[in-house]
Structure 1
Amino acid sequence: MAEPGVLDLVLLGAAVLVGAGTQRISGLGFSLVSAPFLVLLLGPFTGVLLANTLSLATNVIVLGQTWRAVDVRKAVLLALPAVVAVVPGAWVVRALPAPLLALTTGGLVLVALLAVLATERARVLHGTAGAVVAGAASGFMNVTAGVGGPAIGLYGLSTAWTGRSFVATLQLYFLLLNGASVAAKGWPALTPATWVVAVGSLAAGAVSGHHLARHVSAERARVLVAGLAVLGSAAIVAQALVELFGPG
């Protein structure tokens, strides 16, 4: 690929750094924060592939920092339906227009998120059934829209599950999901300079987020999760609308 300019590398590094820090503090958010910028700078295929690869690396790093707080049962409970949902999701992607899928899935999660934030009566994702639904929705959206975090954020809000256990457990969950994605698609083809900036920014973001997490209360983490989930779903819907009805 062509050698990126200095400004491109700076923007890429900033997106990765903020995404990694956000992931460490809230448990999710790397792809929501960094993927749009990576796609803009590197193109849709390479940008999404790099986001998946760096997200996987972020999961490993943060899991190494928080593994004592992992709830293995919840991680597996979420991951099993997510991996299963990847199969029909991959089939649907080939059968239907991607923007229409993104609009449908992103719109449904956005409506559900807003309902959960508006009233406790909408917090219906409880227990084993809630985890299965959230995991399946996350896996399906990860394949069809490239973002699996909003559905898991919805589950966290419904169950008031935040704090160290939420952050740690999601790393194991997304490690399994992103690992399957990277294994299926391979490594992105990047210049040496791009790899150096991406990996260096990833490490810096994980370290800074680790220190900042000590000063973020459970309530603030919950607000951050809600905000990221809503923004991620809204971004999916907006991008789908542009692709469906935009010029050209």
Structure 2
Amino acid sequence: MMGASVQWLTGMGFALIAVPALVLVLGPTEGVVLANCGAGAISVVGLAGGWRRVRPRAMVPLVLASACTVPAGTWVATRLPEPVLLAGMGALVTAAVLLVMRGAQVPALRGAKGALTAGAVGGFMNSSAGVGGPPVSLYAVNAGWTVREFVPNAQFYGVMVNAFSVATHGVPRLGGSVWAPAVAGMAVGAAMGKALAERIPEKTARLLLLSLALAGGLTTMAKGLWSL
């Protein structure tokens, strides 16, 4: 619910918040794929009202690069022991959040090469750890995009990269006792985010997102390291 709400407010963040909790409850594999399904669905809904602002020229290299690396991420996720996966996912989420918090300026993430790099890293991270948004966020920062420009493009990327990830992993085999609260939570969270969008300053929402994501990443990493 919290992930869906923040995603509606900022254009990203569902996976950053949801993945650490889901992998702790369901395990790395099922948790990541359920997060992929949820993030893709939220992105589809969000994109419905902003698809005209998508930049095809910028998004094509991002999407194509992610399609090339998603299978590698899936391969890694299905072969590493659970404690290693938990520690690795936690570390990836934590590092990604810290980079986004700093608004890091990375020369390698500029221009066409930057789009390919961000897309490739995002695809691998999305299928292996469920969090493909931060590399695209860093690309947008280095490209000088405004929030208005970033949100629909991030949602478009979310639709595509999560579709790729679910296609390589397969739909998670979970019962109605898991799917029903997951769908209900996303619906309520999206409604909350839409209602709060005009009341909560963007800076406050973003700080909340990153703080929760950082806490989740550190918790997941700690659990993985403890289990090693």
Is residue 220 of structure 1 aligned with residue 200 of structure 2?
no
**Which residue among 64, 67, 88 is the counterpart of 2:51?**
67
Sort the Cα spacing of 1:84 and 1:211 in 2 relative to 1 into closer, same or farther, 3 A.
same
Contact 1:56 1:178 in 2 (8 A): yes
Give the number of aligned pairs. 224
Is residue 31 of structure 1 aligned with residue 15 of structure 2?
yes
Contact 2:32 2:127 in 1 (8 A): no
Alpha-carbon distance between aligned partners in 1 of 2:162 and 2:182, rounded to the nearest angstrom: 17
Alpha-carbon distance between aligned partners in 2 of 1:77 and 1:188, rounded to the nearest angstrom: 28
Sort the Cα spacing of 1:132 and 1:216 in 2 relative to 1 into closer, same or farther, 3 A.
farther
Q: Which amino acid aligns with 1:154?
A: L
CA RMSD of aligned residues (A): 3.2
Q: Deviation of residue 102 (structure 1)? A: 4.8
Equivalent residue for 1:243?
A: 224
Q: Which amino acid aligns with 1:243?
A: G
**Which residue among 192, 213, 216 is the counterpart of 1:208?**
192
Alpha-carbon distance between aligned partners in 2 of 1:106 and 1:21, rounded to the nearest angstrom: 19
Q: Deviation of residue 77 (structure 1)? A: 2.5
Is residue 150 of structure 1 aligned with residue 134 of structure 2?
yes
**Which residue among 130, 146, 158 is the counterpart of 1:174?**
158
Sort the Cα spacing of 1:83 and 1:220 in 2 relative to 1 into closer, same or farther, 3 A.
same
Map Cα deviations across residues 107-132 of structure 1 (whole Å, 9 max, x no partner): 76467546645xxxx34222222222
Is residue 79 of structure 1 aligned with residue 60 of structure 2?
no
Contact 1:76 1:173 in 2 (8 A): no
Q: Deviation of residue 80 (structure 1)? A: 1.1
Bigger Rg, which one: 1
Q: Deviation of residue 229 (structure 1)? A: 5.8
Equivalent residue for 1:184?
A: 168
Alpha-carbon distance between aligned partners in 1 of 2:134 and 2:6, rounded to the nearest angstrom: 14
Q: Which amino acid aligns with 1:205?
A: G
TM-score (ref. length: structure 2)? 0.78
Sort the Cα spacing of 1:22 and 1:92 in 2 relative to 1 into closer, same or farther, 3 A.
same
Is residue 20 of structure 1 aligned with residue 4 of structure 2?
yes
Alpha-carbon distance between aligned partners in 2 of 1:127 and 1:230, rounded to the nearest angstrom: 30
Identity %: 37
Structure 1: unaligned runs, 5 residues or longer: 1-16
Alpha-carbon distance between aligned partners in 1 of 2:26 and 2:75, rounded to the nearest angstrom: 26
Contact 1:77 1:132 in 2 (8 A): yes
TM-score (ref. length: structure 1)? 0.73
